[in-house]
Amino acid sequence: MAATHVESLDALADLVGTELGVSEWHTITQEQVHKFADATGDHQWIHVDVERAKAGPFGGPIAHGYLTLSLGPMLLDEVVHLDGVRMGVNYGLNKLRFTSPVPVGSRVRLRVGLTGLEQIDGGAQYAMALTFEVEGKEKPACVAEAIFRAYT
């Protein structure tokens, strides 16, 4: 899937209330989960102890919720490119829920909608609905409203 190219903040404003697109599918590996555990110090057994996790509530190891969320920048880059800005920053989250597990070995993708945009000094602040979907599952793994700032 090709990313949506938005030429300017004015053009982005015209897209408020629309879906911007969906990323490709990406497989979550046990190695990725272990590296995330090492980076964050979160070595809970449901993530890193494969044998114990098989007997656990999810039938196997699952990705950390924050690992799923951390895929946002990579996946977002597959969905939309904003031109005409000199710098963009993450500003935070208004909402965040981890609504279902992501089993290791499953594939996830990101669905992105633009929910709001307001002018700020030197640029704009905009909100995006991020929905992390798991292949074959009806319920998303994570839903978030992320806030970004772009400066011209």
Count of the separate structural domains present in the chain: 1
DSSP 15-81: TTTSEEEE---EE--HHHHHHHHHHHT---HHHH-HHHHHTSTTSS-B--HHHHHHTHHHHHHHHEE
The domain spanning residue 100 has which CATH number?
Answer: 3.10.129.10
Whether 34 maps to a domain, the answer reads no
Range of the domain at 129: 4-28+63-151
Q: Is residue 51 part of a domain?
A: no
Looking at residue 2, its pLDDT comes to 76
pLDDT beneath 70, residues of the chain: 1
- Is 17 a member of any domain? yes
Please tell me whether the overall predicted TM-score, pTM, comes out greater than 0.75 for this model: yes
12 in any annotated domain: yes
Nearest to 4 by CA among 142, 143, 110, 88: 110
pLDDT of residue 1: 67
